[in-house]
Copies of this chain bind each other. A is one copy, B any other.
């Protein structure tokens, strides 16, 4: 059986695991007050090109979103996000649980348009009753999106611009940012992300760590009391060095880049193989998540050898499925899959 369900179904990249194993017996201060954590922060500051950025490590993505959004917003404010955004759909109401409304925007393949943000804000303040409604206090986007699509540099600049002209911060959920940076045709760098966002996180969980998300806050005034806020949200890891160690590994010799590049190359091969075999590519994704519309019979045949995610029926006898590559996907996995696809040609 070969696996393309997701990028968090196996453990850690060997170099990440090695960092954990080789230091296992050491004693360090808890809660992130250790050397490894300091070094990982320094590595990330260098990589993003912002010397005085605040960097903090949390355990998971929903936790990171809920904690940071709660810290950023005033009580009467909400967060703008795509209707398809993770915080709008798949976080069990974590944002609302800390008191804030998710204000939804339309999207194109998961992407929010700057003009829609502009229109929302303009129409909001034009409404005489706006004080009875939830004010847009920040913009949340994810790069890549839920559908694997990627904002171009120009799109990011437009979003950053509309936010800053309207005095709201831009937050980028980078749960899979490593794969976006390696996307086909990606015209932005990690430094661009840091320059355009007020705060973003670089996801580890889906890029080869056991767990962990690195928050980078370039606008240091954005959140007051960050450490106790993280603690209050139950997001402070006692053995904090585990986060530092893993991110230090990820940013050593640009490991995160090679992980992203290999996974994207695999994904593109799979995408083109399905296309060549005559099947519909549902979303033109340049990253490690790929969506296809396949006849149900083909799905059944594939499932004997491959595991992947089912997304729902589409038409009479077809369905949409998702294939995801990751740090642990091998050439052999992909070659096996490609042979299978070829044998199931339309």
Contact = CB atoms under 8 A, between A and B. Distances in A.
Interface of A: 3, 5-6, 8-12, 14, 17, 20-21, 23-30, 59-64, 66-67, 70-71, 74-78, 89-94, 96-102, 128-129, 131-135, 205-206, 210-211, 224-225, 227-229, 231-239, 242, 307, 310, 328
B21 A9 contact: no
* Chain A interface, DSSP helix/strand/loop, else mixed: loop
Contacts of A205: 238-239
A101 B93 contact: yes
Contacts of A92: 76, 131-134, 228-229, 231-232
A91 B128 CA distance: 14
B30 A10 contact: no
Contacts of A70: 75
Nearest to A58: B234
19 contacts: A8-B239, A9-B27, A9-B30, A21-B21, A59-B59, A61-B238, A62-B236, A63-B235, A76-B92, A76-B224, A76-B229, A92-B134, A93-B228, A94-B234, A97-B99, A131-B227, A135-B225, A206-B238, A211-B239
B232 A93 contact: yes
Contacts of A307: 27
Contacts of A75: 70-71, 97-98, 225, 229, 232
Contacts of A227: 131
A30 B8 contact: yes
Nearest to A88: B101
A335 to B, nearest CB: 17
Contacts of A90: 129, 132-133
A227 B76 CA distance: 9
Contacts of A66: 234
Contacts of A131: 92, 227-228, 231
A24 B8 contact: no
Contacts of A5: 27, 29
Contacts of A62: 231, 234, 236
A52 B23 CA distance: 39
A94 to B, nearest CB: 5
Contacts of A242: 11, 210-211
A323 to B, nearest CB: 13
Contact of A97 (B63, B210, B233): B233
A239 B59 CA distance: 11
Contacts of A93: 76, 78, 99-101, 134, 228, 232
A328 B14 CA distance: 25
Ranked nearest first, the 4 interchain pairs of A and B with the lowest CB-CB distance are: A63-B234, A11-B24, A76-B225, A76-B228
A60 to B, nearest CB: 6
Given A60-B237, A74-B225, A92-B134, 6 more contacts: A8-B239, A9-B29, A62-B231, A97-B99, A98-B99, A210-B239
A10 B62 CA distance: 27
Nearest to A312: B127
A21 to B, nearest CB: 6
Contacts of A210: 20, 210, 239, 242
A133 B9 contact: no
